[in-house]
Structure 1
């Protein structure tokens, strides 16, 4: 409990931590996050785009708009940053990958999929390879696949590990990391959630020792894993239900301070 009191900002991953993969936050999570914003600053670092975060989280929060001044959004591994300014969400910065590089990355990714033995499913849901301009994302069943199918696809990361290995042989200055239940996020080397922590430190002027990170992919190769190198305090969760328990503890610790 004392650990929570010392923290100025709580940083969350999105998919698998606050929401089930590519889903919206449920009503209980919306209420808990609203309560958390009353006592702490909150940041979201996600591999998803701003529009995805807006749909799954921002539009579902049931709190006074004044609390949004305590909420900070860092989409696509903090290659962009949004904050609430004078009643609206404002893009503070966006760092796009050059068009020619994105084309080369997509070509290398397609070759890597073939080498690793990936076969495009007969039934898929949306884009398999998505050019997010700030990041390239592969989704094995498509961006909009049902959660049940996602959880059955590559649960042990075996296929995605092969894809990542094959990609690394082709492109050396970009990193591929496991993202959500079926995805791989590709960013310029050094652009990961460690970069996100440093951007929070720089833009919000909060030292790492005053931060707490909560995520579900803190295993080696997961897209949350890099934050460990910053010495930030971390909490590893398996699902949003576990996250709710920790949010309740943080709120309770503050009410008893």
Structure 2
């Protein structure tokens, strides 16, 4: 019997970095009457909260390095893990990759460091427009081509094809599966009682560890289909 519905955000519920639309929000409201809902995301909890337009839902951010709840319409961070990394060394490795793979032109910063210790390698830069990001690697072919190389250079981290044009680099053991397992342990819930909706389940995808686990996984290949699929599966 399903008790928890776990959800990715970008590409599953919304377009990348775009606000939650009313149809999807209505379906989530229906689901929340029957199940406990939790977001499991690569981004930080506060960013997810804003993108969800304040929808009341538990949020796990940064692959399990940040946890939040919504109380009285406001987000409350209940757990925040910070892991130090050698920023100079990381920046050198990113520059090495840019030179080696030909990604020498970009907008804004070459690498993004998060307070948690997670790192984003934004291939076309931190300030590239959303249109440019979406057009860069829509089917993830480019990043899959170089995925193993990035993993080898950052072997002390978990590396994922993140967002629309970047690699997420998270300190081990943090990943969505680890985050979910910690969440389930907190509430004393078995893996058989959870279902996960995600879009990035291919090689290197940040939902792939859940997809390849014994947790029931529902693929979402177009976020505009989420409402229909969720109704068919759970309502």
Give the TM-score normalised by structure 2: 0.89
- Are the aligned partners of 1:74 and 1:80 in contact in 2 as well (CA < 8 Å)? yes
Q: Which residue of 2 aligns with 1:38?
A: 33
In 1, the alpha carbon distance for the partners of 2:131 and 2:73 equals: 38
- Alignment of 1:81 with 2:32, yes or no, is no
Q: Which runs of 5+ in 2 are unaligned?
A: none
Which secondary structure does the structure 2 equivalent of 1:169 belong to? helix
Q: 1:127, CA displacement in angstroms?
A: 4.5
Which secondary structure does the structure 1 equivalent of 2:159 belong to? strand
Distance 1:87 1:52, change over 3 A: closer
Please give the residue correspondences for 1:87-126 in structure 2 after superposition, counting only pairs within 5 Å: 88-98=74-84, 100-121=85-106, 124=107
Q: Which residue of 2 aligns with 1:171?
A: 154
Distance 1:180 1:93, change over 3 A: same
Equivalent of residue 131 in structure 1, options 73, 93, 113: 113
Please give the residue correspondences for 1:203-214 in structure 2 after superposition, counting only pairs within 5 Å: 203-214=186-197
Equivalent of residue 235 in structure 1, options 206, 210, 218: 218
- Are the aligned partners of 2:20 and 2:53 in contact in 1 as well (CA < 8 Å)? no
Q: Structure 1 stretch 39-48 or stretch 240-249: which is displaced more? A: 240-249
Which secondary structure does the structure 2 equivalent of 1:248 belong to? helix
Superposed structure 1 runs of 4+ greater than 6 Å apart:
none
- Alignment of 1:48 with 2:31, yes or no, is no
Aligned length: 234
Equivalent of residue 199 in structure 2, options 194, 208, 216: 216
- Are the aligned partners of 2:13 and 2:20 in contact in 1 as well (CA < 8 Å)? yes
Q: 1:200, CA displacement in angstroms?
A: 1.5
Distance 1:145 1:36, change over 3 A: farther
Q: Deviations over 1:114-165 (max 9, x none)?
A: 21111224xx3x5552211221112233446444332321234343235533
- Are the aligned partners of 2:110 and 2:126 in contact in 1 as well (CA < 8 Å)? yes
In 2, the alpha carbon distance for the partners of 1:223 and 1:87 equals: 29
Computed over aligned residues only, the root mean square deviation of the Cα atoms, in angstroms, reads 2.2
- Are the aligned partners of 1:106 and 1:136 in contact in 2 as well (CA < 8 Å)? no
Which secondary structure does the structure 2 equivalent of 1:230 belong to? coil
